Amino acid sequence: MPKINWETYRKLIPDKKIVDDLKSDLEKYKVPYPEDTLTPKIEEQWKALQPEIEKFCAEQDKEIEKATKELNRVKALPKFEDMTMEMFYDFYPDEALDPVNRPTFWPHNPEEQPGYQTPEQKTMKKGGGH
């Protein structure tokens, strides 16, 4: 409980005995509080979780580092308006059009190329269909 300044009450109340009785009654009164049995269990659970939390944080730090590297790489690229097809080929050789090594037919999307299979056909081929 907060500290009570009894001297202030003695100055305000004309009968000092009332203040003394109230003080003695309040000192005698004890509020029954239940015994705390859960705090040790909770602390034990936190200690058990600490390694998992640290592992998760380390994994997230690695992901953040990878994302930061990728972001810096993207920021270092030339602007879209300034990039030529040759520059695109240098930066992304697997995605750029390569008419010599990998010729494609107009409109150069996967659906229009010879041998294209829909995702459903690929699933059926792997034995995933019914």
pTM: 0.47
- Model pLDDT for residues 20-49, shown as the tens digit of each residue: 999 998 888 888 888 889 999 999 999 999
- Model pLDDT for residues 77-92, shown as the tens digit of each residue: 999 899 998 999 999 8
Give whole-number Cα distances, 74 to 64, 104, 109, in Å.
Answer: 15, 27, 24
- pLDDT at position 127 is 67
Among 119, 88, 91, 89, which residue's Cα sits nearest to residue 102?
Answer: 89
Exposed, middle or buried, 99 (CB in 10 Å: 0-12/13-18/19+)? Answer: exposed
